[in-house]
Structure formats: structure tokens, C-alpha cells
Amino acid sequence: MNLTIAEVRLTPILVADPPLLNTQGVHQPYTPRLIVEVVTADGITGVGETYGDTKYLDLARPFAERLKGRRVSDLNGLFTVADEVAVDASEVENAVDVGGLRGVQTADKLRLSVVSGFEVACLDALGKALGLPVHALLGGKVRDAVEYSAYLFYKWAGHPEGVPAEQDDWGAAVDPAGVVEQARRFTERYGFTSFKLKGGVFPPDEEIAAVRALAEAFPGHPLRLDPNGAWSVETSLRVAEELGDVLEYLEDPTLGTSAMAEVAAKTGVPLATNMCVTTFAEIKEAFTKDAVQVVLSDHHYWGGLRNTQQLAAVCRAFGVGVSMHSNTHLGVSLAAMTHVAATVPDLHHACDSHYPWQSEDVLTERLAFEGGRVAVSDAPGLGVELDRERLAVLHRRWLADDGALRDRDDAAAMRIADPRWVTPSVPRW
């Protein structure tokens, strides 16, 4: 068996995205993703997926060059390779990560996000070579299916008129009735039983009313609200007070570990984050201050599936819950998320996934949610197969783009509908 990497393929693509609203603006009609393939000397191909914006691509290309000749089993070596690839720090350090809404952008996070795409591809190839599923390479599954939550968004019926876009059949959701209707469709289509609403879009009272409406429509079901740090400490405490009886947790109500700690000290509602704990370096302060009770992991920017397991172990040691964050992603990443989630013993909350919003994929067969769960594949590797024709179509869309959509920019998308739109400063309310 020859596990040496003989070839690496990087395919940037643009995938259709509905007009989902958040505190920064609205999703653009197409969003960039990067599909990573590593091919062994034996001709086994492994696939991974990560962010596809220019700054990730600029890093992934020299990274890919350095992988040739290494072995797909040398997963620790990927971090060494990452250290060798230069990032233009002036472009990323201290810039707010606009599209991802996951805290401040740093060169380290950028590197780790690229590592994750290659790590998943190497694990997929290694699993195929050994005849083992990825979860087995991670120590083995402790559950046969992974539960996901319905990721509800305020959204428009369509992208602004005149903007080239794919149509979706979800309709608009800009008030409590619309949010409840969207939740019903999620339940009918996928069987989800817990619900997360992306907030920070409308004034807090309107979002409180939406969560109340969800609680009435789905009594006893776990509910979450995530305004991406749009609120002050005072507003966060008021929302926690008003919704405390129905919330499973409140996600990033306010920005920064200190402000989160202030809120946490004065409410019994658990706080979750994918914004103030996004790296290992941020854990110590947040856990010492008891600022967060649930960390939302994300294998993309934590640096892969094995780092996600390490994060879960640290959380367990501190009695902090763990669940999973999601950005727009396709089936390759959903498969990776499902494999790693299957290996985490203390996963007490349903994971987030954007996947139901993605009408397009690069797989021959879409992954399915049944009863809100994705079955853990026991097939070798990730258990997915690339549809090369679809991949080529989505890559041609990326090639045809003049650059306007190659870097996700929710504020720019919002300015098409509202030319006076500026990204709100926080706290917005």
C-alpha cells in the first residue's frame, strides 16, 4: 500500500445561497467554497471541503504544493506544513471576519481553516486505503446517528430584483408567523426537533416575539437564539430574562469574553459561543471567567476533526458543553461533521447545519436527515462520492465570476437592496 500523496487538486466553486439575513447584511446569491482532493500513488482519492474565499485559496495553493510526497497518514505533519506557508498578516490580523461571523480573523485561524480541508481529504483517502470509515480512524463512533437542529433564518422571498440568482421555495420569513412557518417546513422535510433562530436582524423585541411564537408552536422543544454579538450586556440580560423559560441556550448575545462573562454572571440561561472561543488560546480566559457554558465547535476553523476532538476533551474537563457551529457548507463537510460528532461522547446538544439551505451539492447522492439525524456512514472514508460533472459546473460559475462573489460579503449584498446600508457597529441594541 502506497499512501504517498502524488497529486493534490483544488477546485474553487460558487454555490447557490438563499437570501438569509444576519446582523452584517444578507447572504449573496452565490457563496465560495473550496473542494480539496488528494490522490495517493495508488490512485486513491480523498476529498475535503473548506472556505473558498481568495485569502483561503491563496494559502491553500502553496500548501497543496508542499503536500506532494508526504503521506496521507501524516496528519500531524499538516500543521508543520501550515507553519511553513506564509500568510500576509497585514491583510487579516484584527479584521472582523465578515462572512463567517466567528470573531476576529487571524492568520492562525486562516491557516487552520486550510489545514482542515486537507486533513479531511487525507482522512478520507486513508480510510479508503484501509477500508475503514473516518470515524474509526478517529477512535470509533459512540452513536449511529448525529442529531442536527433546524437552522432558522429571517429571509427574503428572493434576492433583489435584477440580481442573477437561483430561486428557492422557502418563501419569506420576516416576522414571528414567517419564522414559525419556516420551522414547520423544516420539521416536515427533515424531522428536526430543536430550533435555532439567527437573530441580530430586527430589534430584540421582535426577535423575542419570534422565539415566543416558536415556543407556542413547538412546546417543550429546545430553542436557541443567536444575534452574533449584536446586543449590549443590558439587552442580553433583558432577553435572557424574557426568554429564560424556553431557551436551551442563548448564543453570543454580546461581543467579547468580558461582556459574555458579565451576562453569564447574572443569568441562569446558558450562553453558547462560536465567536469568543474560536481558538485554543481563547479557552483559558473564557473558562476561567465562566463566560460560556457551551462551545460550538467547527472543524473548519479549529483545524480539523482531530482538533475538534481535542476541543471536546478540554470542554469535558471544564464541565463546559459542546455542540457544533455551521457556516454555509456542502455534503463533504456535513459528512466530516457527522463522523467527528459521532466520536464525541458528551455531545448533549443538536449540531447546527446550513445544509438544508444548500440546494446544490458536489456529491452523487445528497446526505439525508431522518428524524433530524444524519446516519453515521460505515463505508470506507467519509462515505461520499464526488459528482465530477456538478463540480465542474460550479467551478465554471466561479471562473465566470468577475470577482464580485469570490469573497463573501454580506454587507455588499445588503447594499444592493439598501444603498445606504453600513455594517452596524456593535452593540447594535
Find the shortest distance in angstroms from Cβ 228 to Mg ion. Answer: 6
Max distance between CA atoms of the chain, in angstroms, equals 61
Taking CB under 5 A as the rule, does residue 97 contact Mg ion? Answer: no
Task: Between 100 and 381, name the residue whose CB sits nearer to Mg ion.
Answer: 100
Task: Between 111 and 325, name the residue whose CB sits nearer to Mg ion.
Answer: 325
Find the shortest distance in angstroms from Cβ 274 to Mg ion. Answer: 4
Find the shortest distance in angstroms from Cβ 198 to Mg ion. Answer: 8
Q: Of the candidates 45, 34, 178, which has an alpha carbon nearest to the alpha carbon of residue 115?
A: 34
Task: Decide if 428 contacts 199 (C-beta within 8 A).
Answer: no
Determine if the peptide bond prior to 219 is cis (ω within 30°).
no
Find the shortest distance in angstroms from Cβ 26 to Mg ion. Answer: 16
**Interaction mask 168-207, Mg ion, x per CB under 5 A:** ----------------------------------------
Residues paired with 277 in a beta bridge = none
Name the catalytic one among 141, 155, 198, 354. Answer: 198
Please confirm, yes or no, whether 135 is among the known catalytic residues: no
Stretch in the footprint of Mg ion (CB under 5 A) among 222-230, 241-249, 281-289, 356-364: 222-230
Task: Between 70 and 325, name the residue whose CB sits nearer to Mg ion.
Answer: 325
Please confirm, yes or no, whether 300 is among the known catalytic residues: no
Taking CB under 5 A as the rule, does residue 49 contact Mg ion? Answer: no
Task: Decide if 191 contacts 156 (C-beta within 8 A).
Answer: no
Q: Which of residues 130-159 bind Mg ion (CB under 5 A)?
A: none
308 three-state secondary structure: helix
Q: Which residues contact 17 (CB under 8 A, 6 or more apart)?
A: 27, 28, 29, 30, 31, 328, 357, 358
- Tell me the C-alpha to C-alpha distance, in Å, between residue 62 and each of 40, 102, 289, 401: 18, 25, 39, 23
Name the catalytic one among 325, 329, 339, 349. Answer: 325
Taking CB under 5 A as the rule, does residue 274 contact Mg ion? Answer: yes
Size of the site for Mg ion (CB under 5 A): 3
Query: How many whole angstroms separate alpha carbon 251 and alpha carbon 294?
Result: 9
Stretch in the footprint of Mg ion (CB under 5 A) among 46-54, 84-92, 115-123, 243-251: 243-251
Query: How many whole angstroms separate alpha carbon 32 and alpha carbon 28?
Result: 10
Query: How many whole angstroms separate alpha carbon 104 and alpha carbon 198?
Result: 19
Stretch in the footprint of Mg ion (CB under 5 A) among 6-14, 173-181, 220-228, 365-373: 220-228
Task: Between 98 and 130, name the residue whose CB sits nearer to Mg ion.
Answer: 98
Q: Which residue has the cell 440561561?
A: 269
Stretch in the footprint of Mg ion (CB under 5 A) among 70-78, 179-187, 223-231, 329-337: 223-231
Q: Which residue has the cell 476532538?
A: 309
Backbone angles phi, psi at 410, to 5 degrees: -70, -30
> In the set 37, 226, 262, 410, which binds Mg ion (CB under 5 A)?
226
Residues paired with 14 in a beta bridge = 32
Find the shortest distance in angstroms from Cβ 134 to Mg ion. Answer: 25
Q: Which residue has the cell 483517502?
A: 125
Task: Between 23 and 377, name the residue whose CB sits nearer to Mg ion.
Answer: 23
> Which residues have a catalytic role annotated?
198, 325
Q: Give the interface with Mg ion as residue ranges (CB under 5 A).
A: 226, 251, 274
